[in-house]
């Protein structure tokens, strides 16, 4: 029996004051299986959590939260590439720093992204011209019901923009235990985004790319160690070229990013900023004054404060641009993940 709930505040970057019936740190696959089955046998909800960098607990969790800390990095190489087998509980940014330190190149554009390695394939994390799909070779998945694991090659993961098979088919009862990365030894810098365009592809070094990316993210995004947040709250919408052209005709300065599919990605931060919502506050939650895409825990915000604010932001953008933003953050109720769009509707 559990006599009292335990605080989740220190295990999420939003730092919303919520609790869970039980919190257990997981350092091995065997422990993960045991604890998951114990929770299921108690007929309690169970949630596997990395570093809590992309979740909003709507209320206290009525079951067990398993903190994934399964670690380990194994590097192999041949004449063409490096291969990294990485435990899902490793910190992503520390992995990027590790690779750079050991002369393994190709992850620099993905520096300073919050969260664990195991979270990377779920939403196909990406930044500054590179996404996880580009560096992924495989993902190892554990079936918690059968205690057997299987390997999905990158093409089997159905990666999309902030999307993958892990959001759909393998959402519950499965756990990512490791990922395999493959990085080409012939380094090809990606310098198409932000201040990276200032760098010369002929003279640039991986360390320079890493430093520029870290600097850009620190300037644009509030430090979650100082101000609670989950980074980008909404996804950048992808629309048809016809729809994008229509909005562009009304707002010529709107940034657009053509996609290989023929569709166009829009900047959610720009859309929100165009509605003059920076600094808008409800209760203890606010739209960040520097980056409109970020909702911050300004002063002991409750999850309800965040929901009300996010709903208002979403409605304002829809009213002005006839476009509904989708949350990037995962919403967790007392018994598990719920549909974020339905919560905000």
The per-residue pLDDT for range 9-19, each reduced to its tens digit, is 999 999 999 99
**Average pLDDT rounded to a whole number, residues 71-76:** 98
pLDDT digits (tens, 9 = 90+) for 154-177: 999 999 999 999 999 998 999 999
| Token code pair at residue 54 | 């992309």
pLDDT higher than threshold 90 for residue 205: yes
Residue 247, Cβ neighbours under 10 Å: how many?
19
333 Cβ neighbours under 8 A, 6+ residues apart: 58, 59
CB contact at 8 A, 304 and 331: no
Q: Average the pLDDT over each of 39-43, 107-111, 192-196, 262-266 and give the range with the smallest value.
A: 192-196
The active-site residue out of 162, 217, 303, 314 is 162
Q: Could you give the CA distance from residue 54 to residue 65 in angstroms, rounded to a whole number?
A: 15
pLDDT digits (tens, 9 = 90+) for 230-248: 999 999 999 999 999 999 9
164 counts as catalytic: no
Q: What is the reported pLDDT for 141?
A: 98
Instruction: Note the pTM of the prediction, 2 decimals.
Output: 0.93
Q: What is the reported pLDDT for 3?
A: 54
Q: What is the reported pLDDT for 1?
A: 38
- Name the percent of the chain lying above pLDDT 90: 96
**Average pLDDT rounded to a whole number, residues 71-75:** 98
pLDDT higher than threshold 50 for residue 2: no
Provide the 8-state DSSP code for 260.
Answer: T
311 counts as catalytic: no
Residue 179, Cβ neighbours under 10 Å: how many?
25
337 Cβ neighbours under 8 A, 6+ residues apart: 47, 171, 330, 331
**Average pLDDT rounded to a whole number, residues 25-38:** 96
Classified as helix, coil or strand, 225 is coil
- Secondary structure element (H or E) that encloses residue 290, with its range: none
pLDDT higher than threshold 60 for residue 277: yes
| Token code pair at residue 228 | 């609670």
CB contact at 8 A, 265 and 236: yes
- Complete DSSP assignment for 160-173: BTTB-GGGTTTSSS
The active-site residue out of 99, 164, 232, 303 is 232
- Sole residue written with tokens 């760098």: 199
232 counts as catalytic: yes
- Secondary structure element (H or E) that encloses residue 252, with its range: none
pLDDT digits (tens, 9 = 90+) for 301-344: 999 999 999 999 999 999 999 999 999 999 999 999 999 999 99
CB contact at 8 A, 281 and 257: no
- The strand pair at 6-7 and 174-184 is best described as unpaired
């Amino acid at each position: 029996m559990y006599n009292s709930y335990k605080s989740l505040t220190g295990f999420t970057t939003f730092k919303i004051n919520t609790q869970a019936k039980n919190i257990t740190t997981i350092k091995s696959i065997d422990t993960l299986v045991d604890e998951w089955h114990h929770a299921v046998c108690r007929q309690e909800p169970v949630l596997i959590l990395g570093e809590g960098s992309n979740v909003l607990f709507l209320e206290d969790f009525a079951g067990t939260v398993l903190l994934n800390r399964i670690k380990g990095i194994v590097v192999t190489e041949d004449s063409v590439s490096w291969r990294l087998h990485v435990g899902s509980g490793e910190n992503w940014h520390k992995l990027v720093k590790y690779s750079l330190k050991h002369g393994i190149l190709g992850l620099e554009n993905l520096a300073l992204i919050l969260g664990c390695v195991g979270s990377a394939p779920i939403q196909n994390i990406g930044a500054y011209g590179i996404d996880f799909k580009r560096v992924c070779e495989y993902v190892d998945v554990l079936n918690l019901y059968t205690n057997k694991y299987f390997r999905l090659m990158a093409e089997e993961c159905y990666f999309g923009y902030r999307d993958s098979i892990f959001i759909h088919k393998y959402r519950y009862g499965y756990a990512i235990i490791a990922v395999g990365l493959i990085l080409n030894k012939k380094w090809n810098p990606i310098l198409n985004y932000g201040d990276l365009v200032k760098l010369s592809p002929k003279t640039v070094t991986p360390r320079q790319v890493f430093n520029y990316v870290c600097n850009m993210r620190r300037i644009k995004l509030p430090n979650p160690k100082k101000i609670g947040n989950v980074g980008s709250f909404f996804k950048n919408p992808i629309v048809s070229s016809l729809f994008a052209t229509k909005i562009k005709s009304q707002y010529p300065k709107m940034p657009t990013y053509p996609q290989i599919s023929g569709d166009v990605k829009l900047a959610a931060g720009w859309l929100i900023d165009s509605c003059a919502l920076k600094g808008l506050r409800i209760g203890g939650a606010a739209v960040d004054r520097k980056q409109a895409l970020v909702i911050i825990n300004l002063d002991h915000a409750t999850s309800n404060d965040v929901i009300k604010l996010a709903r208002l932001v979403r409605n304002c953008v829809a009213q002005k641009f006839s476009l509904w933003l989708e949350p990037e953050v995962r919403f967790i109720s007392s018994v598990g993940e719920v549909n974020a769009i339905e919560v905000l509707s």
